[in-house]
Structure 1
């Protein structure tokens, strides 16, 4: 920077160019000899040099008769606020250091968040209860992936308690789960669902709503279906209680109908399963019930098939079954 500022430009500025003023020492009226002022080279993209050139044009004496300050870089002491203008010296600050892959300089960008990284792999992860904020995000991701590449599959990973918490407390309306379900049914894209932890209530419906043959579960995941429940409303009138109760029955019938459609069971079978309370299923039971199509054993299936049945170990230990007694 200092070397650049020492190079004078071809242009010059006159200290006094008015021909009407009398010449000093009685020389008469005439043009005063101009003095060349060292001007810094002007780089339009450098705000420090631009401001310094503007200052030199307005006040040449500050450039010619300046006092040097050894504690500060050259010409920086001419500006009014050195602390504020010290940022102007760092013009290339927006360029980061060369990355390890080569000498190329790349602009600094903030790292993307985790959902954005998963979205690049066409993965939608439901890892929270289906509260309205989560439902809004899932719907936006599904619509983006559908209109981005309609012919490529979408991977829906599920680890959610649906519209309730783990202790059964209702935190959202059943319509939040139905909204995601309707979006899945509206799409022409293949939906591959994977249960990686727990799929409870409305989340189990989303698990079963995947493309037939593409619904999977990890070996230790849990699936559960139950009757819909309404969120607490506090003190309301008796007529409002009846209205909400009728709405809960309507949503129950819709849930039973949809589960029967995607699991291949009759509506009576689904109603009997959830009529006595929450119906929990391990991956094997979920496959038998029709919620999933495949268990992702990763080699454990052959190992489990080689294990002797419990009756074999009972006979070997000398334990007789209740039927034999």
Structure 2
């Protein structure tokens, strides 16, 4: 028992001695140590004088009159937007000058790199979102080069006629096509039904193509499934479909150069068209076949596009 009491007293004295030594060391450090201060600013420093001379001769740096203050970049007083790629004079005659050296990771990006927009699904919201975004991107990258719209879509319906999307999806893509400043070349590579047929006909006159065995079909807009909706809601939907039908007829008459009465009579029943009949009705202009090299030879070369856009070679 006595040994335990003696051991505890020894530990207590050791703890008090350790705390006393730490306290004395901290006090000594506070009294003896001084915080290092940076050297005072010297406006006659040779390095600062060289920097000031370079700033005065540089157009991107704002000249300063006070020698006591260092120069600063003038980026907020007169901001300027960067020039778009089409505004920069190209040193070569190729539109692929700024494309990445490595190919994009997916096939749609590879097609987009060739300025090809491919619609291969019914016009549902996710398809509309992607197509409109691609059109805006291609117009931003080069508003002078053409865009090639490949179509293989059943429009806002499926093959069996069931409605899968609203007519506004097709009208959204159509409006985006009409707003772009670039030339739109449309190609039917399978089928173009309903709203997709409108997109096919909306291409630039003379630049609307179809493959030999592709089909086009005009049909009236369809009422979505009403389910258990009350009669008043069904009537509202019917009026909306009637307005969409009138809009579709008016736009088709504009691009096919037919009268509204002729288009209205044509779509009373599903109006199927093969390649030759689509040309006769005015939906497309040419058929692409194995001798299409002759047709594609009429496409302007990159040099001609640059010359027509007023872009000079450096």
Which TM-score band applies after superposition, normalised by the shorter structure?
0.5 to 0.7
Q: How many residues align?
A: 192
- Contact kept in structure 1, 2:226 and 2:234, CA below 8 Å: no
**Does residue 1:215 correspond to 2:196, yes or no?**
no
Helix, strand or coil at the partner of 2:191: strand
Which runs of structure 2 are paired with 1:114-263 in the superposition (5 Å)?
Answer: 114-263=107-256
Secondary structure of residue in 1 paired with 2:163: coil
1:282 to 274, 291, 300: 274
Counterpart in 2 of 1:35? Answer: none
Are the equivalent residues in 1 in contact too, given 2:103–2:110 (CA < 8 A)?
A: no
Cα drift, residue 188 of structure 1: 1.2
Q: Which residue of 2 is the match for residue 34 of structure 1?
A: none
Aligned-partner Cα distance in 2 for 1:232–1:191:
34
Give the C-alpha shift of residue 297 in structure 1. Answer: 2.1
Is contact 1:128-1:161 (8 Å) kept?
yes
Do 2:216 and 2:274's aligned partners in 1 also have CA atoms closer than 8 Å?
A: yes
- Using the alignment, how far apart are the partners of 1:182 and 1:234 within structure 2? 31
For CA contacts below 8 A with separation 6 or more, give which structure has more relative contact order.
2
Point out where structure 1 has 5 or more consecutive residues left out of the alignment.
1-108, 301-325
Q: Equivalent residue of 1:299, what SS?
A: coil
The structure whose Rg is larger is: 1
1:89 corresponds to: none
How many Å separate the matches in 2 of 1:199 and 1:111? 28
Q: Equivalent residue for 2:286?
A: 294
Gap runs ≥5 in structure 2: 1-101, 293-314
Task: Give the ranges of 4+ consecutive aligned residues of structure 1 lying more than 6 Å apart after TM superposition.
Answer: none
* TM-score (ref. length: structure 2): 0.60
* Residues 2-21 of structure 1: pairs in structure 2 closer than 5 A: none
Helix, strand or coil: the match of 1:230? coil
